[in-house]
Amino acid sequence: MAEEAILGYLEHNEQIADSGVFAAERQLDHNDVVNVIKSLHGFRYVDAQNIKRETWVLTDEGRKYAAEGSPEFQLFMAVPQEGSISKDELQKKLDPAVFKIGCSQAGKNRWVEMGKQVSRKVQNVEDKVRVLLLHVQEGHEIKQEDINSLKARKLIVLQTWKGYSVTKGPNYAPQRKKVATDLTRENLQRGDWKELEFKEYNFNAKGQPAEGGHLHPLLKVRKQLKDIFLQLGFEEMPTNNYVESSFWNFDALFQPQQHPARDSHDTFFLQEPSTTRELPEDYVERVKRVHEVGGYGSRGYGYDWKREEANKNLLRTHTTAVSSRMLKALAEKPFAPKRYFSIDRVFRNEAVDRTHLAEFHQIEGLICDRGLTLGDLIGVLKDFFTRLGMSQLRFKPAYNPYTEPSMEIFSYHEGLGKWVEIGNSGMFRPEMLLPMGFPEDVRVVAWGLSLERPTMILYGFNNIRDLFGHKVDLGLIKENPICRLGLE
């Protein structure tokens, strides 16, 4: 309908000056007319120029009064011609909003006498408000003072009206030719492809949104952390084994076999295969000795070290298990300093709550060199965390079975206005390093933190289950922004 009207009109006329007027004159919906113009313009049947106009339109309330009469008029009509009506009685006859507004407006207009009893002061009134509203609705001009009063009563608002002026385009024809958008199998079979006219490509059309893959926030933060470690000259450790033996996860780290963390309440042990197949025997012997009687200046723990305990397979409880394997391998070669890091998953048999899961990710860094001191550890931590955007650090003495001294790391959180714990660190003990075979003056400084903590802070999660696990909203993964650490 609209298409025929537009093309037909242009056959005998220079232009459609205003699509709004054009639509109104033909009683067409202006939206339909606009859509047809856009489509005809796409095929260059017509040229179209934007036109914009500010017009007054009725609000919902305005539309209601245009249909039912203004509240003051409704109120006036509810008052009897002769005598009076009690205010309560009158209220019952009207909608509460209409009653309230009607009372004040009809009072102002001196249409009614308001008291306990309400009576008419005049016999006839004209509902001017309604007349004005109908004018606006039909697109007629009204006086500025009337506009002001309707606007003040929020019965009309200014709206930007958008339309087009239209002239013939380079491909103008009084009727649109059907063009093919696709070459089908049927076209080929029937042979009618030879006669078909194909639609041109519209290179300006917006394409389909590309449904690519999306990185999970944890992966984005991990990538940033990895870049920081690489910039600082660290090499990544191979952490692609979730299953570990108790030996590498605990014993090699000088963690005694009675340590509570080695209980099944804290650690997931494997049923199948329940034990490791092989361990480096001579090293196992040295580890057993250092646990039982010490050596290298240590008294050891003085208990009966059991091989069966060390053999038990588990889901690694920290990535430090991998660090211990890597350090042992390093100690076997002629000594060269190293910087290692890893970011991977660990498992703990813990009750799940809003900040804990039974699996999470650890970030771990270590530096191995001759003569390192606690000052070196503090220095590298400052360097590392500053790059994450945390430059205010504090350290608190702590305890780990495998480090001495050990320090918890705190950072001042601007948002929370307090110091929050962000990691754990220390210097690996001689009881761990010397049985591996390192020269005596070799020290290892190391630290660890969770990947989830900074990710939750950066992305504003307060429940870890929204970040990781089966309840994660995929839409959120598609929409979350890239991660830029250290940039405020």
Distance, CA of 342 to CA of 244 (rounded, Å): 16
3 state SS of 158: strand
- Helix (H/G/I), strand (E/B), else coil: 315: strand
Contact set for ligand PHE, span 316-375 (CB under 6 A)? 318, 320, 364
Q: How far is the CB of 334 from ligand PHE (least distance, A)?
A: 25
The pair phi, psi for residue 472, each rounded to 5°, is: -65, 135
CB of 373 to ligand PHE, least distance (A): 16
Pick between residue 22 and residue 360 the one whose CB is nearest to ligand PHE: 360
- In which region does residue 175 sit, left (phi positive, over 0), alpha (psi from -120 to 50) or beta (all else)? beta
Nearer to ligand PHE, 347 or 447 (CB): 447
Closest CB to ligand PHE among residues 341, 447: 447
CB of 182 to ligand PHE, least distance (A): 60
Of residues 154-213, which lie at the interface with ligand PHE (CB under 6 A)?
Answer: none
Binding residues among 438-467 for ligand PHE as defined by CB under 6 A: 446-448
| Of residues 235-274, those binding ligand PHE (CB under 6 A) | none
Closest CA to 229 of 218, 221, 239, 240: 221
With respect to ligand PHE, which residue has the nearer C-beta, 161 or 242? 242
Under a CB-based contact definition with an 8 Å cutoff, are residues 166 and 9 in contact?
A: no
User: Which CB sits closer to ligand PHE, 20 or 426?
Assistant: 426
* E strand map for 12-116: 15-16, 46-58, 85-86, 112-113
Query: How many residues are given for the chain?
Result: 488
Q: How far is the CB of 475 from ligand PHE (least distance, A)?
A: 33
Q: Which of residues 374-433 bind ligand PHE (CB under 6 A)?
A: 400, 403, 424-426
Nearer to ligand PHE, 245 or 425 (CB): 425
Comparison of 74 and 450: residue with beta carbon closer to ligand PHE: 450
* CB-based contacts of 198, cutoff 8 Å, min separation 6: 179, 180, 181, 183
CB of 403 to ligand PHE, least distance (A): 5
Q: How big is the site for ligand PHE, counted in residues (CB under 6 A)?
A: 11
Token code pair at residue 23:
């639509």
Query: What distance in Å separates the CA atoms of residue 267 and residue 307, rounded to the nearest whole number?
Result: 18
CB of 323 to ligand PHE, least distance (A): 7
The neighbour count for residue 33, using CB atoms within 10 Å, is 25
The residues that touch ligand PHE, with contacts defined as CB under 6 A, are 318, 320, 364, 400, 403, 424-426, 446-448
